[in-house]
Amino acid sequence: MSEIQTIAQLQKRFGVPGALRFTEGRGGLTRAEISSPHGAAQVYLQGAHVTEYQPAGEGGGRGEGGGEPVLFVSDKSRFEPGGPIRGGVPVCLPWFAEQHTDAKAPKHGFVRVLPWEVKDASRQADGSVRLELGFVFAPGNEIWTRYAPYWPWPFSATMTVTVSQALSMALAVRNDGREAFEITEALHTYLKISDIRNVGLRGLAGGAFLDKTKGFAATRQEEQVLRFTGQTDRIYPDSAASCVVEDPGLRRRIVIAKRGSASTVVWNPWAERAGKLEDLGATQWPGMLCVETANAGPNAVRVEAGQTHVLEATIHAERM
């Protein structure tokens, strides 16, 4: 990878007055702070990780003068170099969950714990703000030496974050090698909700899913609205539909639309499992729900040499 970009260098080259600035975030990590007439967001360069998104006005929820935050971040999350952030939108790549060929491989791949470079930043005519980050994995750079034993194929990735009337995230993965490879991936979105026991999730009715809590048993969702009564960890393969979280407690719906995604992952750890996660703890789980835009399980994506695959999620909030 190229030399680390300092905050001063980033601000001089990519800062947009009144719209985008670079600051030192939690744990000393560099972040981009985005502000537009449509809303605000924060993106950490480590992992190209969106940690905050707050729509402007009534669409985001009940707060006056600004919407309710849409993303959940654990107050126990460790913001530290080389470590994952619990919440927001982690980027899982080049594999999702465990890599089955090597138990020592890091869960959810390695790009989420490594620094990305700023490639471009701009404010559009409608006031929306766009930030593009890049990541290169190739022989000769330091991360290749560390991770090539788990993933011996060169690739480059870009993450484009746009804050307009919705939050849009586009993850593009290019195969820079001479042979095809297969990736699994996810935009592992943690949504902020009032209480998991009182929300419903639409968009998956009739779909088959793999239930991780039951050894990946294949099951079918018969109910129109998914309600939550215990630990939930499901992969819905061959699912390209949008999902809608209905949250009467915050009096809003969160709509998650997607492209280039054949899987949806739904997760909440519930009390016992959450208590075993040091960066989450036993008390915060009711306020979060993961609805993940993914290509996981049987929906691995084959990327031919020289080709690019794009995974995109668009999230917006609206009043109920």
CATH number at residue 284: 2.70.98.10
For residue 131, tell me if it sits in a domain. yes
**Higher-scoring residue by pLDDT: 196, 2:** 196
Q: Residue 3: is its pLDDT beyond 50?
A: yes
Residue in the block written with tokens 């290749």? 144
Strands 129-137 and 155-163: antiparallel
For residue 19, tell me if it sits in a domain. yes
For residue 216, tell me if it sits in a domain. yes
Domain count, the chain: 1
For residue 1, tell me if it sits in a domain. no
How much is the pLDDT for 5? 83
For residue 305, tell me if it sits in a domain. yes
Give the list of residues 6+ apart from residue 24 with CB closer than 8 angstroms, or none: 7, 30, 31
pLDDT digits (tens, 9 = 90+) for 19-47: 999 999 999 999 999 999 999 999 999 99
Percent above pLDDT 90 for the chain: 92
Q: How confident is the model at residue 2 (pLDDT cuts 50, 70, 90)?
A: low
Judged by phi (left if over 0) then psi (alpha if -120 to 50, else beta), residue 3 lies in beta
The rounded mean pLDDT for the chain is 95
226 CB burial (10 A radius; 0-12, 13-18, 19+): buried
How much is the pLDDT for 102? 86
pLDDT digits (tens, 9 = 90+) for 190-219: 999 999 999 999 999 999 999 999 999 999
Query: Beta-carbon neighbour count of residue 71 at 10 Å?
Result: 22
Q: Residue 66: is its pLDDT beyond 50?
A: no
In one-letter notation, the amino acid at residue 20 is: L
For residue 164, tell me if it sits in a domain. yes
Q: How confident is the model at residue 7 (pLDDT cuts 50, 70, 90)?
A: very high
How much is the pLDDT for 64? 34
**What residues make up the domain containing 97?**
7-319
For residue 256, tell me if it sits in a domain. yes
Q: Encode 199-209: b = buried (16+ Cβ within 10 Å), e = exposed.
A: bbbbbbeebeb
The two most distant CA atoms of the chain are separated, in Å, by 54
pLDDT digits (tens, 9 = 90+) for 109-160: 999 999 999 999 999 999 999 999 999 999 988 899 999 999 999 999 999 9
Q: Residue 65: is its pLDDT beyond 80?
A: no
For residue 169, tell me if it sits in a domain. yes
